[in-house]
Chains A and B, each alone.
Chain A
């Protein structure tokens, strides 16, 4: 089990990964503070 979430920070990279791994994307719009 992974120790923490490996967040992508670039939508295009996330889309490429999603296509390659046949997964959907969770996009979290957050307030970095």
Chain B
């Protein structure tokens, strides 16, 4: 990550403007235990109340890191019932990084967030249909399978 991903200008710009970047050694005496760190790199998205919302372990290329972080930021909003900001972040992810590994989970979360805001089931079914069409082998398609019946 230090040699390839973090020096990339798009990543520098994203982290400098959209997030607070914090670097901690994997063997930090208290934080490594608190966050159950077993391997590096482990990347965790936290909110300002110290709550964890998203985690990845292993190398991410620049083209995967930014959508992964957008997904994490969307989860922060989603998990605190801020569905409109979550949808804005998911829309950005899917518009700019629709080919990334984070896209299927983003489509799933988009469907649920729209369900939460509209109180109608149609967004869940649409999410399943998009997942089935574009990502038939994704675990997120499997998780959305019940929505095909709506």
Contacts and interface: CB of A to CB of B under 8 A. Distances in A.
B24 A28 contact: yes
- Chain B, interface SS category: mixed
Contacts, number: 120
Interface residues of A, number: 28
Interface of A: 1-11, 14-15, 17-19, 21-32
Interface of B: 1-2, 6-7, 9, 11-13, 15-16, 18-26, 28, 31-32, 35, 37, 40-50, 53, 69, 72-73, 76
B44 A5 contact: no
Contact of A19 (B2, B23, B48): B48
Nearest to B13: A1
B7 A4 contact: yes
Contacts of A6: 16, 21
B6 to A, nearest CB: 6
Contacts of A21: 20
Given A2-B16, A5-B6, A28 B72 contact: no
B102 to A, nearest CB: 14
A6 B48 CA distance: 18
